[in-house]
């Protein structure tokens, strides 16, 4: 599985960019997964429902199976800051994993920048940053794309995949 990270500070546009890229990758015949990192404690369950009761009773994993999808929730001891590649290993094999967040993960990544945030840049110090996507041009030798240049970003990312057959589908 090829992993591409999308790193940037909160509000930079990572989620919107991934949402716009996904249909294009799927149209190229890629089987795509997304892993999103969050610092917030999230809960998908409703207190009192069966799956919630199972977790409260001590189940470390609860898998809710329905006709067209399943949802697996696993309680992680300590924190949610497990390495990205540990999360990738839990996925069913696919062609491409888009990882949102995980700023410092050792994977090739796109840095997403919103000039209104005035956040520090990752690319000068992170050799894994392949390109920069933002709302205005910046001073860098890295390839850069406007956040609305979805076709250009997709073409660039497809060119980085080790199996180039997907680029011409």
pLDDT in tens, 40-59: 666 677 788 888 889 888 88
Strands 2-7 and 96-100, sheet pairing: parallel
Distance CA 135, CA 12 (A): 9
Q: Let me know: does 14 contact 36? Beta carbons within 8 Å.
A: no
Ranges of each domain in the chain:
2-41+80-168, 42-78
Distance CA 80, CA 136 (A): 33
Dump pLDDT digits (tens) for 122-144: 998 999 999 999 999 999 999 99
Q: Which two tokens stand for residue 117?
A: 């945030």
User: Model-level pTM?
Assistant: 0.86
Which fold, 2-41+80-168? Rossmann fold (3.40.50)
């Amino acid at each position: 599985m090829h992993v591409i990270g999308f790193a940037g500070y909160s509000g930079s546009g990572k989620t919107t960019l991934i949402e716009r890229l996904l249909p294009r990758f799927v149209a190229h015949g890629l089987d795509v997964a997304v892993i999103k990192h969050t610092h917030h404690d999230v809960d998908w369950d409703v207190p009192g429902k069966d799956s919630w009761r199972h977790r409260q009773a001590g189940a470390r994993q609860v898998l809710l199976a329905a006709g067209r999808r399943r949802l697996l929730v696993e309680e992680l001891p300590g924190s949610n800051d497990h390495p990205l590649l540990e999360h990738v290993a839990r996925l069913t094999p696919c062609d491409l994993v888009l990882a949102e967040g995980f700023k410092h993960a050792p994977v090739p990544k796109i840095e997403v920048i919103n000039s209104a945030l005035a956040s520090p840049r990752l690319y000068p110090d992170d050799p894994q940053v392949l390109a920069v996507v933002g709302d205005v041009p910046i001073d860098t030798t890295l390839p850069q794309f406007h956040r609305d240049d979805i076709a250009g970003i997709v073409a660039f990312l497809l060119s980085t995949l080790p199996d180039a057959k997907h680029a011409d589908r």
